[in-house]
Amino acid sequence: MSRPKIWNLSRLRLAVQTLFLGVTVYGGTIVGPYLADKISKSLPALSCVFDKSNAAYCVLIPLQHQMHHRVGETFARLGELSLSIFIPILFTLLSFYLFFVILNKAFCGWICPLGTVQELLYKLGRYLDLAIHRLTGLQVRRVRPVKWVMLLVLVFLLPLATGLGYVPHAAGDAYCQVCPSRIVTTLLTADTEQLAVSRAGWLDFLFGAIRALLAGMVLVAALTVRQPFCRICPMLAFHALFKRLAILRLVKREHGKCDRCDLCTRACPMDIPEISTSHGHTAFNEDCTLCGRCAEFCPEDGVIQLKFGPASIYRSSRETFLQRSRREKPDGSYKRPLKSAGRGAKDE
């Protein structure tokens, strides 16, 4: 009897990521500037606003601008705090979060162009057989606060302080000044302008130097470390704030079937230890990008699931695990096809 065809989640995800890489980075060229402008206002993405060919702007741009121009400058004018300030901010948040409440963390695993580029580079590293550098549970936990500091300082505080007139104008979009996507996605369109380090002022120079350094480090590190920038990305923190509201989510219930084999953590591009050791809200961690690899590599039926509302849209199964592990190890490296895929595969 022929086996039922198993849905290859990774392949589907790669197809969606490739589509969105095209839309977010080259969309403006494909659909024309008029339509690109419309898409940009409705599709939240980490596609850089400095990319002249894009069709979707990063959501962090309007947030920084509103901190800078609306909140900061209005506080500076003392007493002019009114609904007219908060309505635009609310509108920005609502329009993005209507999307975010549906997609939430899946934005990272399925849409973000910088996330996709990092994944493709890691695949290239596997193809070249470069050594893998995996973060330990302790290292993962130590790095986690950095993304919250990035969000608080670069997206909220510095733009706000710029509006209040405490710091130079260059800090009005502080996160965009250092964001590696500004270099990586513009380079994809053969635009090298963002590589230049401005000498207009000391802060412009500092930001430009950090940006170039960060982009270079991310591009090199991604060959051997999975998703190096994602671990400190403020967008990951921003999504985590709304994780509990998310319609699309990862579910791992307390289950006698889970023997803590650790395969899910080894498959996880963010090296999340909690997915193998915990359940419930702790297993659906703030670092999760909803890529679904843990579900693909979990050998126990139904222990890990991707859910849309109450509906289970993808669940771990022994059959999927056996099929996925034939060619690929949980860490993403390739292997020769197994002659007999059985329990032994789980122990690899």
Residues at the contact surface with ligand SF4, assessed by CB under 6 A: 46, 108, 112, 114-115, 227, 229-230, 233, 235-236, 250, 258-264, 267-270, 272, 275-276, 288-294, 298, 300, 303-304
Q: What 3-state class would DSSP assign to 161?
A: helix
In whole angstroms, how close is the CB of 91 to ligand SF4 at the nearest point? 22
In whole angstroms, how close is the CB of 74 to ligand SF4 at the nearest point? 29
CA angle 263-267-271, nearest 5°? 100
What string of DSSP letters covers 91-142? HHHHHHHHHHHHHTTHIIIII-HHHHHHHHHHHHHHHTTPPP-PPPHHHHHH
- For the record, the structure tokens of 219 come out as 């591009």
In whole angstroms, how close is the CB of 73 to ligand SF4 at the nearest point? 28
10 Å CB burial of residue 145 (0-12, 13-18, 19+) is exposed
The phi and psi torsions of 45 (rounded to 5 degrees) equal -155, 160
Cβ neighbors of 311 (< 8 A, separation 6 or more) are none
**Ramachandran bin of 196, using left for φ above 0, alpha for ψ from -120 to 50, beta for the remaining angles:** beta
Q: Which of 248, 270, 262, 328 is nearest to 298 (CA)?
A: 262
Nearer Cβ to ligand SF4 (71/235): 235
Nearer Cβ to ligand SF4 (102/203): 102
Nearer Cβ to ligand SF4 (259/319): 259
Residue nearest to ligand SF4 (CB): 115
In whole angstroms, how close is the CB of 28 to ligand SF4 at the nearest point? 19
In whole angstroms, how close is the CB of 234 to ligand SF4 at the nearest point? 8
| Residue pair 268/296 in contact by the 8 Å Cβ criterion | no
Nearer Cβ to ligand SF4 (37/262): 262
Nearer Cβ to ligand SF4 (68/266): 266
Nearer Cβ to ligand SF4 (33/342): 342
In whole angstroms, how close is the CB of 115 to ligand SF4 at the nearest point? 3
